[in-house]
Amino acid sequence: MAAAGAGSDFLLQATVFLGAAVVCVPIAKRVGLGSVLGYLIAGMLIGPFVIGFIGEDGEDIMHFAEFGVVIMLFLIGLELEPEKLWRLRKQILGVGMTQVLVTAAIIFGVGLALGLIWQSALAVALALALSSTAIVLQTLSEKGLMQSEGGQSSFSVLLFQDIAVIPILALLPLLAVREVTTGSKTLISDLPMGLQTLVVLGAVVAIILAGKFLIAPILTVIAKSRVRELFTGAAILIVVSIAYLMQQVGLSAALGTFLAGVILANSEYRHELEADLEPIKGLLLGLFFIAVGASIDFKLIAENPILIIALTLGLLAVKFAVLFVIGKIFKLSLNQNFLFAFSLAQAGEFGFVIFSFVRQLGISTNETLSIGTVIVALSMTLTPLLFIIDEKLIQPRLCDGNPKEEEREMDSVEENNKVIIAGFGHFGSTVGRFLRANGIEATFIDNDPDQVNLLRRLGFKVYYGDATRPDFLLSAGADDAKVFISTLTDPDENYQLVETLEKFYPHLTIMMRAQNRYDAYEFIEMGLENIYRDSLDTSVRMGVDVLKKLGRRAYTSRRAGLTFLKNDEKAMWELAEHRHDKEQYISEARARIQYQEEVMEYEMSHKEQQMVDEAWDSEPLVQDFSSGR
């Protein structure tokens, strides 16, 4: 059966993979183990060392399934706008760098104590110092912990580790102690080690330049064709071609696509790329987790059970201790620090990549690398269990934080109104109160369980649920509603919400809150027509009051405010066309500012209009404003 699976019968392997996932994942979810552990268990069962349904040592599956990690890193790169990187700089450089350096130093010392040569000990230490981006982010998202303090710290460390792989892989050729005799042939295999390092760095620079000057213009041409499947094909082509280039210079494919994602993070096509690749990423990540489970060499474990178990548990203990101390230094609360340390205690998928590269370079023995590979796979397999220990045993016993509540089901909505409002903060509640005062009832939904509990205690009728979920929107009455108002503050959540509404409930009129002009530009590009910027009306109303305090007639001031609002809204829609051309945008913005000032100046000096305003404002009223009464 294993031979058939490793041969030409691709359909059989696909059936086995998908069948194992369909059986194991729902069972794992039902008993509270999570989908990741379900995939890992499925891989163990169908792998070559248990039932034997799939390939020799699982390597053929791993090569295919690693493409899920490649796409995931590309999507992570797309999320890393310069503003977000700058905001997380303390965690990325402080927490991330400290974790990698301290962990690698400790493992390096252990490797020397176990008799490894220093080059081998250093390579192994660098590989095991990294954690699993795929498992950790998937599990944090699944459990709703990404926005927590511990989740954000974990993300920052993973981000630094992903970036750190570039210099690590560039450094490894310098550690080679013998000529390469095994491994796949690459374009740089026959070059001197020093020159290999330069070529690797050159490939990284080439990807950066291509992302900046080549990929974005190509996407512009393709987007103008308005053929959606062609854009999806282009997105996959970008990922595949960069992955191929990186493999040809002996680097990880995931690194190249990660860099390309970072370069395209400010592209106008960022959200469309995310939407097109997200489903593919989810499927291939599931296959990757199955492949990790299948790659665990149980024969090697049976031959050296005490050594491998001790090394695996020792690795988890060392990384947990280092992370916990770092969390204390950077002032994480106790419950968030446990989450942070448990999340990143394992080794990661880049360990497989680094060990493969180390094998090609002859830096370490095959026996050491085989044991290291098993430790990586075992530690990744134990990660979901670490999350369960933290969630079930640690968090409920802590008193200095707010432990995460049991997984809460979304509420069943008991209303069926013509208006649905997502987000019940100050903005959303004000809109709702205004509508209710005018005889219009609205259905309020919010995705923060603590906020919902508080609002209910205050007497508000709010339903807990995720507005980006089509099934929850259906239960909230989206089929019969006419208007959907979003007052959410997270731009990414709003983008996902718009895509969901336009796909499943296109009849709804969407009215969107935007935090600033640049968020508004994004919504304009998504095709929205009803966009309301935070503080715009309030700012203009304050300006109107200033005019009145300085003696301007009340109606004149009010009319000036309305004129300003009208022109500013018009300018926003016109400038949206030029937002990606900086020079043109600045030129157009200056022209519109000048035009708006001229319009306001004309109205202030227009005698006929002032005479009309006198019919609205009495002289005593003007005097009252002038005197400050």
DSSP character string of 148-181? SHHHHHHHHHHHHHHHHHHHHHHHGGGG--S---
Task: Select from 255, 271, 270, 276 the least CA-distant residue to 216.
Answer: 270
Q: How many Cβ atoms from other residues are within 10 Å of residue 242's Cβ? A: 27
Domains of the chain, by residue range, sit at: 60-397, 413-534, 542-629
Name residues whose C-beta falls within 8 Å of residue 43's C-beta, 6 or more positions apart in sequence: 20, 58, 289, 290, 291, 292, 293, 294, 295, 296
Domain 60-397 identical in fold to domain 413-534: no
**What's residue 484's pLDDT?**
92
Mean pLDDT of all residues in 366-392: 85
Is the confidence at residue 336, as pLDDT, over 50?
yes
The DSSP secondary structure of 518-552, one letter per residue, reads HHHHHHHHTT--EEEETTHHHHHHHHHHHHHHTT-
Crossing angle of helices 149-171 and 253-263, rounded to 10°: 120
pTM of the model: 0.56
Q: What does the alpha-carbon distance between residue 269 and residue 219 come to, in Å, rounded to a whole number?
A: 8
Q: What is the per-residue pLDDT across 455-511, written as a single tens digit (0 to 9) for each?
A: 776 667 888 888 888 878 888 888 889 999 898 877 778 888 888 888 888 889 999
Residue-wise pLDDT for 305-319, tens only, equals: 899 899 999 999 999
**All residues at 6 or more sequence positions from 135 whose CB lies less than 8 Å from its CB, including other chains:** 36, 289, 346, 348, 380, 383, 384
- Per-residue pLDDT tens over the stretch 587-625: 777 777 777 777 667 666 654 455 455 544 545 444 444
The per-residue pLDDT for range 72-82, each reduced to its tens digit, is: 677 777 766 66
Report which of residues 406 and 166 the model is more confident about: 166
Q: Does domain 60-397 correspond to CATH entry 3.90.226.10?
A: no
Q: Which helix (H) or strand (E) holds 418?
A: none
* E strand residue ranges, 160-242: none
Per-residue pLDDT, 617: 54
With 70 as the cut, is the pLDDT of residue 7 above it?
no
- Between 100 and 267, where is the model more confident? 100
Averaged pLDDT for residues 83-93: 68
Which residue type, as a one-letter code, is found at position 505? Y
User: Strand 442-446 vs strand 483-486: parallel, antiparallel, or unpaired?
Assistant: unpaired
| Residue 28 contacts residue 34 (beta carbons within 8 Å) | yes
Q: Are 35 and 86 in contact (CB under 8 A)?
A: no
Using an 8 Å Cβ cutoff, are 599 and 567 in contact?
Answer: yes
pLDDT at residue 324, rounded to an integer: 92
What does the alpha-carbon distance between residue 252 and residue 227 come to, in Å, rounded to a whole number? Answer: 32
Q: What fold, for 413-534? A: Rossmann fold (3.40.50)
Could you tell me the pLDDT band of residue 54, with boundaries at 50, 70 and 90?
Answer: low
